[in-house]
Structure 1
Amino acid sequence: MRARKRAVLKFTLLLSLYRSRSLIADFIRKDFVGKYKGTTMGFTWAVITPLCIILIFTFVFSTILKVRFGGGRSADFVVYFLCGMIPWLTFSDALNRSASLIRENAHFVQRIIFPVEILPLSVSLSGMIQLGIGFTLLLGVVGVFFTPLTWTVVFVPLLVCLQLLFTIGLTWTIACLGVFVRDTGHAIGLGTQMWMFLTPIIYPAELVPESLKILLVINPMAHLVKGYRLAIIEGTVPDIAGLLILTCVMVMVAAFGYLFFMRSKPAFADVL
C-alpha cells in the first residue's frame, strides 16, 4: 500500500510539472534574466560575477594568505575551497530566497488555477543555471592553471542533479513555512550560516574529531561537496553505493517537501 502511494505521489508530481512546463520555463527566465534587467552589460554579469569570485579567492588564498593543507600548495587549497563554496552559494541563496517567496507573490495565490508550487521550483532551477556557469568557469580555470581534468568530471552533472533535488525539497518546505511563520527568513539566514561551518568547505573533513563525525554523516551537503572534490580534484569516481543512498535521501526530501507544500497550499489564501 505504501509503495502504491509513493508511486501515485511521484506520478502526480511529474504530471503536474509536465503540465506546467511552459510556466516553469517562463518563471525561470524571469527569475534569472530579471536579475540583470536594465543593466548595461545584461547577462554578461552572470559570467563576470562567478569569474571574479574565483579570481579573488584564488588571489587572496594563494598570494596573500598562502593557505595550504599539510605540505600541499596554496593553489591546491583554492581549488579545494571553490569546489565547496560555489555549490554552497547557490544552495544557500535558494533557501534564503524561498522563505519570503510566497508572500512576495501573494497575488498568484489568489488565482485558484495557478500552480503556486512552481515558484520554489523555478527559484531552485534558476540557481542551477548559475551553478552550471560557476562550475564551467571553475573547471576551465582548474584545467588551464592548476591540474589537468580527468574523465571523472562527468559525475559533476549527476551531483548537480542530486543537489537540485535536495534544494527543491527544502525550498518547498521553507516557502510553505514562510507563509505561516514570519520569522522563517531570519531563522533560515542564521541556519544556513551555521550549516556552512558544519560542512567541510573551508577545512578538510579529516580535521573533524571522531566524536563529531556523525554531523558529517547526516549532512547531505557534506557528501555532495566531497563528491565534487573527488570528481574534480582527485580524479576518482565517487562511491557508487554512497551515491545510491544519497539519491534515495534526496528523492525522499523532494517528495516530503512537495507533499508538505501541497497539503498546506489550501490555507495560503487565508493567511495572506
Structure 2
Amino acid sequence: MNAALALSLIRREVAGRYRGSALGLFWSLLNPLFMLAVYTFFFGMVMKSRWATPDGQNVTHSTGEFAVILFCGLIVFQFFAEVISQSPGLIVANAGYVKKIVFPIQILPVVSAGAALFHAAVNLVVLLVFAYAAFGNIPSTVILAPVIFTPLVFLVLGIAWFLSSIGVYFRDMNQIVAPLVTATMFLSPVFFQRTSLPTWLQPWLSLNPLAIPVESFRAVVLFGMQPDWTSLGYYSLAAILVAVLGHQFFQKTRRGFADVL
C-alpha cells in the first residue's frame, strides 16, 4: 500500500510543481539547460576548461562536447541537491500529515526523491540527444545508468531522513544545508577531473558523496566504459548503511514531531 501511496504522491508532487505555469513540465528542461549554458560559458569559454578522454589523450573537446560532459555531471548533482535542499523543511511544510496517525510520514522523503528522480530521467533523455549530436553515438553501456543511480538514491534517502527529522527541532538546518550543497558541487568532479588534482589528494575525493556517482555516470553514459565496480560496491554498502541508519533515526525522533509542530 505504501508503494501505491508513494507513486500517487510523486505524481501529485511533479504535477503540482508546475500547475498554473504557462510552460508546465517544460520548466524541468529549461532550468537545467539555463544553468548548463551559464556554466558552459564560464568554464568552457572564459576559463577554457577541457576534458581528457578516458585514454587521457584527447583534451581538445569542442565547447559543445564539453557542455555535454558537464551536463552529465550536473544531472547527478541536481538530483542530489533537489532532495537534500528540501529535506530540512520537509516535515514542517507537511505538518498536517504529522497528526494523521494513519499517514506514514516517513514516506515524504521517498516522495521528494521520486520527484527528483523523474526530473533526472527527463534530463537523461535530453542528455542522450545532445550526446548523439556531439559525439555521433550513444554507447550501449548507457543501460547501466539505473545501476549507477540506485546507490545514490539510497544515500540521498538516508540523508533526507536525517535532515527532515532534525529540521523539525532545529529550524536553522535550512541555512546550514544550502551552502553545504553548493560546496559539495564545487568540490566534486562535476567541473573537473580527478586526475587534475595532486596525486596525494585524488583518493580523498571519494569522500565526496557525489564523486563516485558522477564519475561512474559519465563512464557509462558518455564514454562507453564500465564503472569502477569495486569503488561502486563500497559506495553501495555505505549508501545502504546510511539509509538504514537514517530511517531508524527518523522513526525514533518522529514521536516528538506533533509536540513541536
| Same-fold status (TM-score > 0.5) | yes
- CA offset digits 1:8-49 (Å, max 9, x no partner): xxxxxxxxxxx3123212221121111110122322333444
Between 1:65-74 and 1:139-148, the stretch displaced more is 65-74
Q: CA deviation at 1:271?
A: 1.3
Does 2:13 correspond to 1:31?
yes
Instruction: Tell me what 1:142 maps to.
Output: 131
Instruction: Tell me what 1:163 maps to.
Output: 152
Q: How many residues align?
A: 254
- CA offset digits 1:133-181 (Å, max 9, x no partner): 1111101110122342211111111112222111111111110110111
* Residues 1-272 of structure 1: pairs in structure 2 closer than 5 A: 19-54=1-36, 57=39, 62=44, 66-69=48-51, 71-73=59-61, 74-272=63-261
Distance in 2 between residues matched to 1:165 and 1:183, nearest whole Å? 25
Distance in 1 between residues matched to 2:113 and 2:252, nearest whole Å? 20
Between 1:57-66 and 1:142-151, the stretch displaced more is 57-66
Q: CA deviation at 1:131?
A: 0.4
8 Å contact kept, 1:54–1:138 = no
Q: 1:36 to 1:175 in 2, by over 3 A?
A: same
Q: CA deviation at 1:129?
A: 0.3
Q: Give SS of 1:234's match.
A: coil
Distance in 2 between residues matched to 1:49 and 1:67, nearest whole Å? 23
Distance in 2 between residues matched to 1:69 and 1:116, nearest whole Å? 44
Distance in 2 between residues matched to 1:66 and 1:180, nearest whole Å? 46
RMSD value over aligned CA atoms?
2.1
Distance in 1 between residues matched to 2:134 and 2:40, nearest whole Å? 11
Distance in 2 between residues matched to 1:79 and 1:193, nearest whole Å? 21
Distance in 2 between residues matched to 1:241 and 1:214, nearest whole Å? 14
Between 1:61-70 and 1:33-42, the stretch displaced more is 61-70
Distance in 2 between residues matched to 1:146 and 1:56, nearest whole Å? 21
8 Å contact kept, 1:51–1:137 = no
8 Å contact kept, 1:32–1:126 = yes
Scaled by the length of structure 2, the TM-score of the pair is 0.89
Q: 1:195 to 1:104 in 2, by over 3 A?
A: same
Q: 1:83 to 1:186 in 2, by over 3 A?
A: same
Between 1:63-72 and 1:221-230, the stretch displaced more is 63-72
> What percent identity do the matched residue pairs reach?
28
Between 1:41-50 and 1:148-157, the stretch displaced more is 41-50
Amino acid in structure 1 at the alignment position of 2:187: L
Q: Give SS of 1:217's match.
A: helix
Scaled by the length of structure 1, the TM-score of the pair is 0.85
> Unmatched 5+ residue regions in structure 1?
1-18
Q: Give SS of 1:117's match.
A: helix
- CA offset digits 1:108-144 (Å, max 9, x no partner): 1111121111111100111000001111110111012
8 Å contact kept, 2:40–2:70 = no
Instruction: Tell me what 2:56 maps to.
Output: none
Distance in 1 between residues matched to 2:233 and 2:73, nearest whole Å? 21
8 Å contact kept, 1:198–1:215 = no
Q: Give SS of 1:156's match.
A: helix
Q: CA deviation at 1:53?
A: 4.5
Distance in 1 between residues matched to 2:260 and 2:203, nearest whole Å? 39
Amino acid in structure 2 at the alignment position of 1:23: L
Distance in 1 between residues matched to 2:188 and 2:209, nearest whole Å? 9
Q: CA deviation at 1:60?
A: 6.0
Distance in 1 between residues matched to 2:4 and 2:205, nearest whole Å? 39
